[in-house]
Every structure is written in C-alpha cells, then in structure tokens.
Amino acid sequence: MLTKIALALDIADEENISKLLSLLEPKPHIIKIGLELISALGIQKALNLTQSLSPQSEIFLDFKLHDIPNTVTKAIKPLLQHKQIKYLTVHTLGGHKMLTEALKAVEGQINLVGVTVLTSHSEQEIKTDLNLELNSLSQNLVKNAHLAGLNWLVSSVWECLAIKQKYNNFKIITPGIRFSGQNKADQARIASPTTALEQGSDIMVIGRAVCEAENPQMAWQSLLKI
C-alpha cells in the first residue's frame, strides 16, 4: 500500500529530516524533494541525506520547471547523473514545445511528470484571477501533455477520474491529501487518502498530513490500513 505514497519532505533542516525519517516505518517508497529543501541544502546535499536515511527510496524531484525550452532542457541534463531521481515535474503550462523537448532531455531515464492546475488554486480563484473555468483549463493542459507524449501528470484528486476516462495512458500523482478534520492550510482542492484511491490516484503526495501531524508515526502507519 505504501508503494502508492510519495512523502513530501518539505523540511528545511537536516536534524528535523533525520528525526522524521527515523520515525517512519516502513520507509517511503518515494520521497519527494522540492524547492524548500533544495533552497536550504542544495541538491547534492539533499540527495545524500535522503540516500543515507532511506537508501531504498526513489526520489521525486519536484522542481516544477516552467521556462523556455532551451533553459528547461539545460536544467534537466545535469540531473541525469543522479540515478536515484525517478520523477521530475514540469509545468504543462510551459507548452507543447517545452514539454516535448523536456521529454527528449530526460532520455527515458526519469519519469517526466506534467503539473496541471495546482491544488492550491480553487475553482473560484481560477475564475477571478484568470477568467478561466478550472475544468476546461485542466482539460487543455492534460490534452497538451498527452500530445507531447507525457505519461505522468500531477492533478488534484478531483480531476483524476475524468482524465482517466479520456486517456488510458496517464498515471496520476495527487497532492492536496488530508486526513479528515486536518487543516487545509494553503491547499484548496483537497481529498482524503481513501478518496484519492477511489478516484484512481496512482501515487498520492503526503506532506503536512504526516510531517505536521501530532504523531507522525501513527499518521504514517494509518496509511498502511487504507
């Protein structure tokens, strides 16, 4: 069961990372590292640390690349030397050319994951800020990712079923996971772990639901029972 979970290690110091990972058994199959950790430690140190604390874990590098195709390609190339990186995010808003070039750049070594509409955006916010409908924005981004040849997406749990009904190639990673009664914080389109599985999530991202739980060990273990 825990194979369907990526632990979001959004923690900026080594001591707290060590403390948390020492509590979690079984160790996460996938550890997601991103801007917060890498800004603090740098990528090499972050990779060394996760490797030493949880050697079997695959690394999901959540860089959410969104730039011109040339820059994205050049940002990806040096990552290929880190063999433990198995997933890397790019924004699908980057467009067809950027996505196809990024796909070429990973050389089949890393799963390129297209981020669609962030789970922190509510339907209302998309309407007010961009004058767009969440569903049509999400559908257009998914279509572009499909045309570019991606096989992995990040979406909220609530878009999963519709995407899977339309395209059978996509595997979907879903952030915005909360246990019942937990604080949404900055997330808008949240769902429980059980709902995520029911809606067809392939991998759910679990961050503060475990890392900031009163008892992270218990919260983690409760995922085993889903």
Q: Identify which of residues 95 and 104 has a Cβ nearer to ligand C5P in the complex.
A: 95
- Candidates 57, 111, 138, 187; binder of ligand C5P (CB under 6 A) is 187
Q: How far is the CB of 46 from ligand C5P (least distance, A)?
A: 13
Q: Identify which of residues 107 and 184 has a Cβ nearer to ligand C5P in the complex.
A: 184
- Which residues from 189-208 bind ligand C5P, rule CB under 6 A? 205-208
Which letter, b or e, does each residue of 167-185 get, where b requires 16 or more Cβ atoms within 10 Å of its Cβ? eeebebbbbbbbeeebeee
Q: Is the CB of residue 184 less than 8 Å from the CB of residue 146?
A: no
Q: How far is the CB of 50 from ligand C5P (least distance, A)?
A: 14
User: Which span (105-113, 159-167, 170-178, 192-200) binds ligand C5P, by CB under 6 A?
Assistant: 170-178
- Which residues from 65-124 bind ligand C5P, rule CB under 6 A? 115, 118-119
User: Which span (51-59, 80-88, 95-103, 173-181) binds ligand C5P, by CB under 6 A?
Assistant: 173-181
Q: How far apart are CA 61 and CA 102, in angstroms?
A: 14
Binding to ligand C5P by residue 61, rule CB under 6 A? no
Is 64 annotated in the active site? yes
- Which residues from 6-45 bind ligand C5P, rule CB under 6 A? 8, 10, 34
Q: How far is the CB of 51 from ligand C5P (least distance, A)?
A: 20
Give the contacts of 214 (CB within 8 A, at least 6 positions apart). none
Alpha carbon 38 to its chain centroid, in Å, reads 15
Q: How far apart are CA 101 and CA 148, in angstroms?
A: 9
Q: How far apart are CA 117 and CA 137, in angstroms?
A: 8
User: Which span (50-58, 79-87, 92-100, 171-179) binds ligand C5P, by CB under 6 A?
Assistant: 171-179
Q: How far apart are CA 169 and CA 13, in angstroms?
A: 38
Annotated active-site positions, please?
A: 64
Query: Using CB under 6 A as the criterion, which residues of the chain lie in contact with ligand C5P when the complex forms?
Result: 8, 10, 34, 62, 115, 118-119, 154, 175-177, 187, 205-209
